Amino acid sequence: MSTRIGIVTGGGDCPGLNAVIRAVAKAAAKRGWETIGIEGGYEGLLHPQRARELDYHDLDGLLTRGGTILGTASRGRFSAKVGHGETRDLPTELLDETQRGFEDLGLAGLVSIGGDGSMTIAQQLFEHGMPIVGVPKTIDNDLTGTVMTFGFDSAVACAVDAVDRLQTTAKSHNRVMVLEVMGRYAGWIAMFAGVAGGADVILIPEIPFSYESVCEKIAQREAAGKHFTIIVVAEGARLVGGGFVGDEATNGEARLGGVGEQVGHEVARHTGKETRVMVLGHLQRGGSPTMMDRVLCTLFGTYAIELIAEQRFGRMVAWTYEGIRSVPLVEAIETLKTVPLESSLISSSRALGICLGD
């Protein structure tokens, strides 16, 4: 009987999931292995199982297709993240049941594609005895150990397109335009989109902001004859001394969102400028992966198969400065990778005169 491996996509979707599935299944087939796709996230391993073999025809067109053909789940019994930096141990019965499902399918290894939540689950399943390797996915780019997660570049491309479009309409109407982007507790999407789109103000979770600072920047622009301003605000941005804006956590992590509306309201009140707010939301997670993500997904997927072949489990594929390598899962989930305050991204923004809210 040939070697069978499983593949599962967990957490929020993003462009590139299907490209990784394709790379994994193709690289596995090249070794004569079968790939079983687990449907609906880790839940698909539980009885009654939802799993199917991925044959060659399933892989057609996957390199460019958004979403995940396997489906995914970001809340429910497998929620291992419950808040900012807080994790939960999955019950032993659930780990046992998952392992039984894995064994019933006759799998020799499992490729888990996901963000920090899915990698936290993967680590717990690995410690429980399951042979797992991880592939780092998230538009938030907040996983430690990898230069970049896949999905991030595609989300940024979407956000930059939005900033470009807001630039022209803001200028035509002499307005302040506020764009709220995703990223959870990390400001990567906001920083990249803001810098690439030429934003005047970028507000990120790593640097608490004040309205004085933001309005001062708008006043300076007005004085210089620039009667429009673009503000990119990360959903996790917060006022000095303030908390995150969003819903209370229910059955998993809290949903962030709404800070853009608050910023728009306060800026209009303080400056008297006509202000409009746009929340980019899940547009950032849809559509086809960028060229960069297609390449990254392909490298990640094929390397995951190498890890399984070498029986190097409990590791996450990573893009390091030495190339595509792997890091222990436990290292990847230890801390969230946020934007370092001493990074060139921050110093270069300040050098340009971009207001970071402080």
Catalytic residues: 140
Q: Identify whether the C-beta of residue 182 lies closer than 8 Å to the C-beta of residue 286.
A: no
Q: Residue 80, interface with ligand F6P (CB under 6 A)?
A: no
CA R_g for the chain: 22
Binding span for ligand F6P by CB under 6 A among 121-129, 161-169, 176-184, 270-278: 176-184
Q: Identify whether the C-beta of residue 133 lies closer than 8 Å to the C-beta of residue 111.
A: yes
CA geometry: angle at 3 spanning 74 and 77, to 5°?
Answer: 20
Q: Residue 115, interface with ligand F6P (CB under 6 A)?
A: yes
The torsion angles phi and psi of 171, rounded to 5 degrees, stand at -65, -40
Q: Residue 41, interface with ligand F6P (CB under 6 A)?
A: no
Q: Identify whether the C-beta of residue 262 lies closer than 8 Å to the C-beta of residue 275.
A: no
C-alpha separations of 135 from 29, 297, 307 in Å:
19, 9, 11
In angstroms, what is the minimal distance from the CB of 354 to ligand F6P? 22
* Residue 333 CB neighbour total at 10 angstroms: 26
Residue (182 or 233) nearer to ligand F6P, CB: 182
Q: Residue 255, interface with ligand F6P (CB under 6 A)?
A: yes
In angstroms, what is the minimal distance from the CB of 163 to ligand F6P? 17
Chain positions 184 to 213 lying near ligand F6P, rule: CB under 6 A, are 184
Residue (115 or 187) nearer to ligand F6P, CB: 115
In angstroms, what is the minimal distance from the CB of 140 to ligand F6P? 5
Pairing mode, strands 51-53 and 81-83: unpaired
Q: How far apart are CA 328 and CA 10, in angstroms?
A: 19
In angstroms, what is the minimal distance from the CB of 155 to ligand F6P? 8
Q: Residue 9, interface with ligand F6P (CB under 6 A)?
A: no
Q: Is 177 helix (H, G, I), strand (E, B) or coil?
A: strand
Q: Residue 16, interface with ligand F6P (CB under 6 A)?
A: no
C-alpha separations of 216 from 208, 347, 357 in Å:
16, 20, 10
In angstroms, what is the minimal distance from the CB of 138 to ligand F6P? 5
Binding span for ligand F6P by CB under 6 A among 180-188, 310-318, 324-332, 336-344: 180-188
Closest CA to 102 of 125, 73, 134: 125
In angstroms, what is the minimal distance from the CB of 184 to ligand F6P? 4
Helix (H) / strand (E) element for 114: namely: strand 109-114
Q: Residue 285, interface with ligand F6P (CB under 6 A)?
A: yes
Residue (35 or 149) nearer to ligand F6P, CB: 149
Q: Residue 17, interface with ligand F6P (CB under 6 A)?
A: no
Q: Residue 183, interface with ligand F6P (CB under 6 A)?
A: yes
> Residues 175-206, buried b or exposed e (16+ Cβ, 10 A)?
bbbbbbbbbbbbbbbbbbbbbebebbbbbbbb
Q: Quickly tell me which residue has 């996230």 as its tokens.
A: 41
Q: Residue 256, interface with ligand F6P (CB under 6 A)?
A: yes
Residue (67 or 219) nearer to ligand F6P, CB: 67
Q: Which position among 6, 10, 12, 357 is part of the footprint of ligand F6P (CB under 6 A)?
A: 12
Helix (H) / strand (E) element for 46: namely: none
Q: Which position among 35, 72, 74, 144 is part of the footprint of ligand F6P (CB under 6 A)?
A: 74
Residue (74 or 298) nearer to ligand F6P, CB: 74
Binding mask 125-154 for ligand F6P (x = CB under 6 A): -------------xxx--------------
Q: Which residues bind ligand F6P (CB under 6 A)?
A: 12, 74, 115, 138-140, 182-184, 235, 255-256, 285
